[in-house]
Amino acid sequence: MSESSGFRHFLAELKRRKVFRVTAVYGAASFGILQAADILFPRIGLPDWTVTLVAALTLAGFPLALILSWAFERTPEGVQKTDPAVTGELEAIASEPARNRWPLGLAAVGGIVLLAFSAWWVLGRPAAAEARIYDSIAVLPFVDMSGDLENEYLGDGLAEELLNALAGVDGLKVASRTSTFAFKGTNVGATAIGDSLEVATVLEGSVRTSPDRLRVTAQLIDADTGFHLWSETYDRAPADLLDIQDDLTQQIMAALAVQLAPVTADGERPVVQRGTENPEAYDYFLQGRFFWNKRTGEDLDVAVGLFEKAIEADSNFAAAYAGIADARAVPAGWNDDPGMALDTAEAYARRALEIDPTLAQAHTALAYTQLMDLDLEAAEASFRRAIELDPGYPTGHQWYAEVLIATDRDDEALRQLRLAESLDPTMIIRWHLGRALYQTGHFEEAIDQLRPLAVEDGGYRGPAAAYIAQSYELLLDYDAMISAYESVGYPDEMAQEARDSLSVLGPQQFPAYSARQAQRFVEEVTAGSPLAADRGVLFVPARAWALADPDRSLDFLEQLAADPNDVNSRVSWFEVIVDPAFDSVRENPRYGVLMEAFGM
């Protein structure tokens, strides 16, 4: 028998004994098993070595499977030793057409390739991961596996703190909190998230809590391939959360092959300072940030209570003081007493800075209270210091823009807001950009910016529609202005009355009609109400008359400025400064006197 004929008979024997089929099935099954182990084992808390063990067993089982398939076969009577080929059987198989012989052989080769690739990936992955430097990451909120909504803050807070730590790395692009938290509760894969956020890696994880144990699992995934670069599971006491966070940050940096900071004398790389070593204080702080991020008045009150508990646990926890300052500085946290709220915000911001002068969040909150007090010079200094300390804090850029608009630096204000939007495209920052476009006279751009917010679910439909309407008003498109107000609940009969008046009076006389309506509305709302003592409401008729009769507008502005130390008056006066509707009164000497009354 020739050498060629002998090899063809050997291949025929392999096919007869179903070795090719076993090779194809074993390779495909091994690939599936190894990929499942690589993804699922870390999520259920199994250590990394278990995946390596599965790979080793899979490789070891391959030659055993081939030997068994050669030696034995399945028959109706069960598994039995394979009988020798009968005369002519191998010749018949070898002489089959190529289209019958090649598919099974190619399938066997494919099985070997799948087995080799999956085993190489699992066993050779660390060296590959270390060889590449990843320059971007998205940190997803950690999934709460406890089934208790009261613990949801822990997964969100851990992700947010890791995000803040990683944001301090020079050259590392970190997707914003809003961008990553938009995927919370979805089933979108890491590859799709990477494409959407334009990042190279995705960090995901889970948290499971019990009274005496805390299990945190984290996986770093290559967004291009979907494969895991690193994973770790921590099973500790709840009090060890701070150590877990530090260790996670260090390991993530190692997996990314970049450094968070230079190595210190003790061989550690320091992470972003969190301000406390007290686990109870830190837990309350994470809960407070969870409610702060909701930004409603009720949630901000809850956040303040939790920050106060954090301070009770650690009286030197600067970030907790800054949290209260944040919650009371924003209008949603003023409740019925903006003066007391702003005084509280200032006091807590200053206390935070006494403890930690480098805390950008506290500088930002202090700056906003100075802004509302019309101390624009002090506010600008505080905002600039906050941005210097943390250029990645979007709220600093967002609020600094208000100082810039008030001091006629419109282009820089819009640049700051667009930077804030790029850092964190939340509804509030998108709305602030739209409002700033209106305030700087870019009315058509303001409408385009605000129109999506006027139809999105959330707390900015009404405010967005209001500035859309005011933009149309200054464009002298009064019919579009009425439609904008209608879109957020302006009564049909009032809208029809306004349209009838516009038709009868014409565009030139319509502003006076609107001013009389605004004046009447304020008088009816404040009659017999505590609002009657609030001089801030005088802003409404003052603005309306500014577009129809500047002298009458100044009459209302003089009433607004009767007590320049009143907080509501000062807050409303800031709106006078930045609203282009008042351009008609700015050159009047009476307006200059009022500016001096407010110390400006």
At 3 the pLDDT is: 46
Q: Is the pLDDT of residue 24 over 80?
A: no
At 357 the pLDDT is: 93
Across residues 516-527, what is the average pLDDT? Answer: 80
419-477: pLDDT as tens digits: 988 887 777 888 999 999 999 999 999 999 999 988 877 678 888 999 999 999 999 99
Longest CA pairwise span in the chain (Å): 118
Across residues 481-491, what is the average pLDDT? Answer: 82
Q: Rounded distance, CA 488 to CA 377, Å?
A: 37
Closest listed residue to residue 150, CA positions, set 306, 24, 17: 306
Instruction: Evaluate whether residue 437 is within a structural domain.
Output: no
Whether residue 98 sits in one domain with residue 146? no
Whether residue 590 sits in one domain with residue 530? yes
Instruction: Evaluate whether residue 195 is within a structural domain.
Output: yes
Whether residue 207 sits in one domain with residue 119? no
Q: Is the pLDDT of residue 125 over 60?
A: no
Domain housing 550? 491-600
Whether residue 164 sits in one domain with residue 103? no
Instruction: Evaluate whether residue 476 is within a structural domain.
Output: no
The count of structural domains within the chain is: 3
Across residues 23-40, what is the average pLDDT? Answer: 75
CA angle 442, 440, 433 (to 5 degrees): 80
Note the pTM of the prediction, 2 decimals.
0.70
At 267 the pLDDT is: 45
For the chain, what percentages of helix, strand and coil (3-state, to nearest 5) are there?
Answer: 65, 5, 25
Contact partners, residue 293, CB within 8 Å, separation at least 6: 156, 177
Q: Give how far the C-alpha of residue 411 lies from the chain's centroid of Cα atoms, to the nearest Å.
A: 27
Whether residue 113 sits in one domain with residue 157? no
Whether residue 208 sits in one domain with residue 233? yes
- Which of 241, 262, 283 is a domain's end point? 262
Whether residue 600 sits in one domain with residue 560? yes
Q: Is the pLDDT of residue 74 over 50?
A: yes
At 549 the pLDDT is: 93
Q: Is the pLDDT of residue 403 over 90?
A: yes
Q: Is the pLDDT of residue 536 over 90?
A: no
Across residues 65-71, what is the average pLDDT? Answer: 71
Token readout for 463 is 């405010």
161-207: pLDDT as tens digits: 778 777 767 777 888 777 788 788 788 888 888 888 888 888 888 88
- Which of 234, 262, 290 is a domain's end point? 262
Q: What is the mean pLDDT of the chain?
A: 81
Q: Rounded distance, CA 436 to CA 342, Å?
A: 23
326-382: pLDDT as tens digits: 989 887 767 777 888 889 999 999 999 999 999 999 999 999 999 999 999 999 999
At 127 the pLDDT is: 45
